[in-house]
Amino acid sequence: MSILVTGGTGFIGSHTVVQMLQAGMDVVIADNFSNSKPCVLDRIEQITGKRPAFELCDLCDKDALEQVFKKHPGITGSIHFAGLKAVGESVRMPVEYYRNNLNSTMNLITLSEKYNAKRIVFSSSATVYGKPKSVPIREDFERSCTNPYGETKLIIEYLLEDVVRADPEWSAVVLRYFNPIGAHPSGLIGEDPKGIPNNLLPYVSKVANGKLPYVHVFGNDYATHDGTGVRDYIHVVDLADAHLHAVRYAESRKGIDFINLGTGTGYSVLDIIDAYSRVSGKKIPYQIEARRPGDIDECYACPDKALKVLGWKARFNLDDMCRDSDNWQSKNPDGYPEK
């Protein structure tokens, strides 16, 4: 029995694979390194003492993906991380986002049916809540999206609902991530965005470590305690742990569930800059600038369903997240090496 982990060398995927291997689970990674590097596999092996099975595969290539299922007949289900995920890029390249994220998922579902691996844990996002009517956000809130990336997540949620409705043998767990940050405490794996980071934490890390001059704070006139945007930051190790619970849950029942993965606590941009600076002892210059189009004031989870259904809740606090992000950034100032 093994689990196919698509996008298993990416940020959240690699942390999840580490925990799966440590828990004695059999893992087959399928990845095309579109936003990751081969040396992640070495790092996973360094941490766990085990090298996961790996298949270089673009999920949009159905024949290639079918070869993965044929080569690994023990696959009983999947965790589907693979996908393009940059909001701004998705606005500039909508067709590529719809093409990649939807085709890959349809191929995975089709082949999972053919090879009787009808269990899936899917990486959705808090982005499917659009501009929520209130916080904390519960899973039964209305869904809407403001960009093509978010639309692909929402369409895949609808698709999985229809798949489960059509075939009650399916088991799907849709995980809605809030803002994953941090890194493995070893400093061997972490987030390695291409070029200038879009997200706050990698940007703050680079400023703290002298790679960028200052943080651009996008707006200080939001309806929050200090005017800057509030988000629910969650340690990637906590997030990874939730996937192990989700895999076991998917094995234990059939049907579909949507589950928030957050801590339930919101922090502002300035809270993050303060905490990171205090924990790391490093200066983080910043400048207040105009709002970033599409951003919302406040977004944090009601995490109760995750505890009730999965028996999981986040354990790490903001200081842990900042410490581990800084440990990763200082040990890997230019991210992963090419080779």
Residues identified as active-site: 149
Q: Do the beta carbons of residue 167 and residue 290 sit within 8 Å?
A: no
Pattern 248-267, ligand UFG, x by CB under 6 A = --------------------
Site for ligand UFG in 127-146 (CB under 6 A): 127
b/e string for 230-253 if b means 16 or more Cβ within 10 A? Answer: bbbbbbbbbbbbbbbbbbebbeee
Pattern 166-185, ligand UFG, x by CB under 6 A = ------------xx------
Residue 273 lies near ligand UFG (rule: CB under 6 A):
no
DSSP state, residue 38: T
Query: CB under 6 A: which stretch of 4-12, 32-40, 68-76, 292-300 binds ligand UFG?
Result: 292-300
Binding residue count for ligand UFG, defined by CB under 6 A: 20
Residue in the block written with tokens 């349809």: 106
Burial of 306 (0-12, 13-18, 19+ CB in 10 A): buried
Is the CB of 55 or the CB of 232 nearer to ligand UFG? 232
Pattern 226-245, ligand UFG, x by CB under 6 A = ---x-x--------------
- Please select the residue that binds ligand UFG; options are 29, 120, 126, 284, rule is CB under 6 A: 126
**Gap between the Cα atoms of 282 and 52, Å rounded:** 36
Phi, psi at 313, each rounded to 5°: -145, 160
Residue 125 lies near ligand UFG (rule: CB under 6 A):
yes
Shortest separation between residue 196's beta carbon and ligand UFG, angstroms: 9
Start-to-end C-alpha separation, the chain: 31
Indicate the residue whose CB is closest to ligand UFG.
229
Query: CB under 6 A: which stretch of 10-18, 25-33, 193-201, 241-249 binds ligand UFG?
Result: 193-201
Is the CB of 44 or the CB of 269 nearer to ligand UFG? 269
3-state class percentages of the chain: helix first, strand second, coil last, to nearest 5: 40, 20, 40
Shortest separation between residue 237's beta carbon and ligand UFG, angstroms: 18
Is the CB of 77 or the CB of 180 nearer to ligand UFG? 180
Site for ligand UFG in 199-218 (CB under 6 A): 199-200, 203, 216-218
Apex CA 37: angle with CA 35 and CA 43, to 5°? 130
| C-alpha closest to that of 233 among 277, 188, 196, 202 | 202
Query: CB under 6 A: which stretch of 8-16, 91-99, 122-130, 330-338 binds ligand UFG?
Result: 122-130
Shortest separation between residue 304's beta carbon and ligand UFG, angstroms: 18
**Gap between the Cα atoms of 208 and 178, Å rounded:** 23
Residue type, 127: T
**Gap between the Cα atoms of 191 and 179, Å rounded:** 12
Shortest separation between residue 163's beta carbon and ligand UFG, angstroms: 23
Tokens of 26: 């059999």
Contact positions vs ligand UFG (CB under 6 A): 85, 87, 125-127, 178-179, 198-200, 203, 216-218, 229, 231, 269, 292, 295, 299
